[in-house]
Amino acid sequence: MSVGCGGGGGGWSGRGGGVVRAVVGGVRWLWGRHRTTVIVTAAVAVGVAWRRHRRAKKLRRQWDSAGADVIVLHTLRYGRRCPHLSPFALKLETFLRMAGLEYKTDFEVPMGPKGKTPWITVNGEDIGDSQLIMERLAGRYGVHLALQSSSPEQQAAGRAIAIMTDEHLYWGLVHWRYYADSEMRIHELITLPAYFRLMLLLFRHRIRKLLNIIGLGRHTTQQVEEIMRRDLQAISDYLGEKAYLMGNEPCEVDCSVFGMLGQFLWNAPGSPYLAMMNEEFPNLREFCLRVKNQFWPDWKQCLDPQQQ
Ligand SMILES: N[C@@H](CCC(=O)N[C@@H](CS)C(=O)NCC(=O)O)C(=O)O
């Protein structure tokens, strides 16, 4: 052990010494030849870091002043056809409304502690992941929706539907948005700053790799559509003639399903999924309109730009 460590340590320090010498040499060379550039670059870097730090502190103060138990929902800015481009954000904001919890929205810092959107801050605590957030809030504020009074069998079905929606149907949406939609109509849905558009291009590349890793990206587009059609068929069959998935009263599962199907209905122009919602699964379309009418009376005012 000690031999290995000693030997490794010696090798490391030898290589490390070479690197340090090269860096020091490089800095000396820059300092000697481009002193002004080095000073200006360092000053700009410090200035940018300082501004970032001050902005972060200011935002934190703002979120903390929301009030005790007031939830700050952090998401991407509202979209043009549907308030949220993210199914998870639409799911979560619908839940906050359904549960009657007090909240404010923040569009300044959409990515949260887990590097994803949406996330919340409540009483100074940051929490990521829509599902975990809903569970935490339900426990903390005693939110009692229809799922809690359903039978264990219904609860099991509800969980299966929510997970299928969040973890499977979601990838169908992603596949459409970042892969199959050659016209990239995502740009019609939300106004993004220039740097975000650039990030979207990088994100697109990452998504394609990810789709291959999870396997969906290895199917033909037609096969993906067929797989997604079966998910939609399953939800449509379970919903049947009911107003909500668990019966006459809405619950958390409806939030997941609405968050996702709302993307197909309003945020996937030209997609086969929009056509499926309109032509093959009218009860899912009606369901979305029902949830929208009940929990989003201000839908139009939430669009960007606001509408009357
Ligand atoms: N399980 C998470 C999923 C959130 C999620 O995947 N959000 C997407 C936007 S729809 C995101 O932030 N993606 C950015 C990334 O993964 O880097 C939740 O329920 O909140």
Q: What values do phi and psi take at 3, rounded to 5?
A: -65, -45
Q: What integer pLDDT is reported at residue 149 of this predicted model? A: 86
Is there a domain that residue 41 lies in?
A: yes
- Residue 118 preceded by cis peptide, ω within 30: yes
User: Cα(201)–Cα(185) distance, rounded to whole angstroms?
Assistant: 13
Q: Are residues 219 and 289 both part of a single domain? A: yes
Q: Are residues 20 and 110 both part of a single domain? A: no
Q: What integer pLDDT is reported at residue 14 of this predicted model? A: 53
Q: Which residues of 76-112 are buried (b: 16+ CB within 10 A; e: fewer)?
A: bbbbbbbbbbbbbbbbbbbbbbbbebebebbeebbeb
User: Which atom of ligand 1 lies at the shortest distance from residue 167's CA?
Assistant: 1
Is there a domain that residue 2 lies in?
A: no
pLDDT for residue 29 is more than 60: yes
Q: Are residues 37 and 171 both part of a single domain? A: no
Report the pLDDT averaged over residues 123-136: 97
Q: Are residues 172 and 278 both part of a single domain? A: yes
Q: Are residues 36 and 127 both part of a single domain? A: no
Q: For the chain, how big is the Rg over CA atoms in Å?
A: 25
Q: What integer pLDDT is reported at residue 2 of this predicted model? A: 33
Residue whose CA is at the smallest distance from ligand 1 atom 6: 116
57 is in which domain, residue-wise?
16-62
pLDDT for residue 13 is more than 60: no
- Residue 250 preceded by cis peptide, ω within 30: no
**66, two tokens:** 């929301």
The residues that bridge with 244 in the sheet, in sequence order, are: 247
Is there a domain that residue 10 lies in?
A: no
Q: What integer pLDDT is reported at residue 16 of this predicted model? A: 62
141, 158, 176 — which closes off a domain?
Answer: 141
Residue whose CA is at the smallest distance from ligand 1 atom 17: 116
Q: Are residues 44 and 76 both part of a single domain? A: no
Ligand 1 pocket test, pick from 74, 84, 88 with the greatest ligand atom count within 8 Å of Cβ, gives 88
pLDDT bin (cut points 50, 70, 90) of residue 30 is: confident
Q: Are residues 166 and 288 both part of a single domain? A: yes
User: Cα(230)–Cα(235) distance, rounded to whole angstroms?
Assistant: 9
Q: What integer pLDDT is reported at residue 274 of this predicted model? A: 98
Most confident of 19-33, 164-178, 187-201: 164-178
pLDDT for residue 3 is more than 80: no
pLDDT for residue 11 is more than 50: no
Confirm or reject: Cβ of 131 under 6 Å from ligand 1: yes
Range of weakest confidence among 20-24, 123-127, 283-287: 20-24
Range of weakest confidence among 197-211, 231-245, 249-263: 197-211
- Beta strands 71-74; 103-106: pairing state: parallel
Q: What is the CATH number of the domain that holds 109?
A: 3.40.30.10
Confirm or reject: Cβ of 88 under 6 Å from ligand 1: yes
pLDDT bin (cut points 50, 70, 90) of residue 126 is: very high
Integer distance in angstroms from the first to the last C-alpha of the chain?
74
The closest of 105, 127, 102 to 114, measured between CA atoms, is 127
Q: Are residues 126 and 198 both part of a single domain? A: no
pTM above 0.85, yes or no: yes
Q: How many CB atoms neighbour CB 70 within 10 A? A: 15
What rounded mean pLDDT belongs to the chain?
A: 92
Q: What integer pLDDT is reported at residue 203 of this predicted model? A: 84
Confirm or reject: Cβ of 116 under 6 Å from ligand 1: yes
Pick 184 or 82 by higher pLDDT.
Answer: 82
Q: What integer pLDDT is reported at residue 5 of this predicted model? A: 35
Q: Residue 173 C-alpha to ligand 1 middle, in angstroms?
A: 13
Is there a domain that residue 308 lies in?
A: no
Q: Are residues 243 and 189 both part of a single domain? A: yes
Q: Residue 116 C-alpha to ligand 1 middle, in angstroms?
A: 4
User: Which atom of ligand 1 lies at the shortest distance from residue 129's CA?
Assistant: 20
Alpha helices in the chain (DSSP H): 2-33, 35-64, 87-98, 130-141, 152-164, 170-175, 194-214, 221-239, 252-266, 272-275, 282-295, 299-302
Task: Judge contact between 207 and 178, C-beta under 8 A.
Answer: yes
Is there a domain that residue 3 lies in?
A: no
Is there a domain that residue 1 lies in?
A: no
Is there a domain that residue 307 lies in?
A: no
Is there a domain that residue 269 lies in?
A: yes
Domain count, the chain: 3
Q: What values do phi and psi take at 23, rounded to 5?
A: -65, -45
Q: Are residues 298 and 164 both part of a single domain? A: yes
pLDDT for residue 74 is more than 90: yes
Q: Are residues 157 and 282 both part of a single domain? A: yes
Range of weakest confidence among 71-75, 96-100, 148-152, 223-227: 148-152
pLDDT bin (cut points 50, 70, 90) of residue 8 is: very low
Q: Are residues 120 and 155 both part of a single domain? A: no
Q: Residue 117 C-alpha to ligand 1 middle, in angstroms?
A: 5
